[in-house]
Amino acid sequence: MNTLRLVLADDHTLVRQGLRSLLELTPDLRVVGEAADGEEALRKVAELQPDVVLMDVRMPRMTGLEALRALRRTDPERRVVLLTTFDEDTALIEALRAGVQGFLLKDVSLEELAEAIRRVASGQTLLPPGIAERVARGMAEVPRDFPHADLPEGLTRREVEVLRLIARGMSNREIAEALGTAEGTVKNQTSSILSKLGVRDRTRAVLRAMELGCL
């Protein structure tokens, strides 16, 4: 079994110690470094080259979000999971725009956290269903009009509309019903969207669309 190397960043010493003790009960996870703020986290990541970085959203001097943005500029492939005590839609949306791979509330179980770390390390993007649905609802009022000149990555108007419905958490069948078209047509449009955005799944398509500013 390959061991995943972790850097843990949280400004509360007891929280760090508690998370470290719990994570090290799992044979395939090892905390190789700790940090008390975002600036120290960046130094530890550069020095230790961990597989996954676990960071609290709220930290002094440099927050987890600020550290995430800095990592995306200097180390864009680094896998990051943000942890938060606060159930905030705004923080989640900002984290998604900054390219986070995982976003979890601190009340998750050890088993859920360990599995999230493994999934993120394997290249997946982890958005727990409850959080994803809230973000989707937050996008529900976004207007569908999208000027032709601003269509990203060669997407058609209909593909952008489909993409926005995907972001609301709708299935292909639900999108087909909403648009008055066949489910097979929506499947083809979704495949086209993934190809044009250069991603392999619907979640990454939504994240890419957020980066492009069309959601």
5: left (phi over 0), alpha (psi -120 to 50) or beta: beta
Torsion of CA 114, 120, 121, 122, to 10 degrees: 110
Any idea where the domains of the chain sit in the sequence?
4-139, 157-212
Q: From CA 212, how far away is CA 102, in angstroms rounded? A: 20
What's the pLDDT at 146? 42
Each of the 215 residues of the chain gets a pLDDT tens digit; together they read 689 999 999 999 998 999 999 998 999 999 999 999 999 999 999 999 999 999 999 898 899 999 999 998 899 889 999 988 776 667 777 777 777 888 888 888 889 899 999 989 988 877 655 555 555 555 544 444 444 335 556 888 899 889 888 877 788 888 999 999 999 999 999 999 988 888 877 777 877 776 676 66
What's the pLDDT at 99? 79
Residue 150 is given by DSSP the state G
Q: Does CATH number 2.30.110.10 belong to domain 157-212? A: no
Q: From CA 144, how far away is CA 21, in angstroms rounded? A: 48
What's the pLDDT at 141? 46
What's the pLDDT at 41? 95
Architecture of domain 4-139: 3-Layer(aba) Sandwich (3.40)
Q: Judge whether 4-139 and 157-212 match in fold.
A: no
What's the pLDDT at 129? 58
What's the pLDDT at 7? 96
